[in-house]
Amino acid sequence: MLSRGSPQVTVGSGYRARVAASVESTTAELATIADNVAGYRSRVAGLAEPFVGGDREDLVTAIHEAERQLRNAERSLIRAIKTAG
């Protein structure tokens, strides 16, 4: 019976080193971006505070939605970092 699996490909150590370096670089950049997004999320959340309890609930709602979206972006970046690592 013939095997229908993928043919074996030998990958040299140079290729593996380049991929590892690329993953390491990507992970570092993702971590930096995640940190920046966390900072922006905090800043955006703070922008709503002066309007809470006032007559601009529409603005508070919009700011809180933006803050939630930034939190989701931060979590997605962290998930990507964990996947790469």
Give the 3-state DSSP-derived string for 57-79, with helices as H, strands as E and coil as C.
HHHHHHHHHHHHHHHHHHHHHHH
* Alpha-carbon span 62 to 19, nearest angstrom: 41
Say if 22 falls within a structural domain: yes
Query: From first to last of its 85 residues, what are the pLDDT tens digits of the chain?
Result: 455 665 565 556 676 777 677 889 999 999 999 999 999 999 999 999 999 999 999 999 999 999 999 999 999 999 999 999 8
Say if 41 falls within a structural domain: yes
Say if 3 falls within a structural domain: no
Q: What's the predicted TM-score (pTM) here?
A: 0.73
Q: How many domains does the chain have?
A: 1
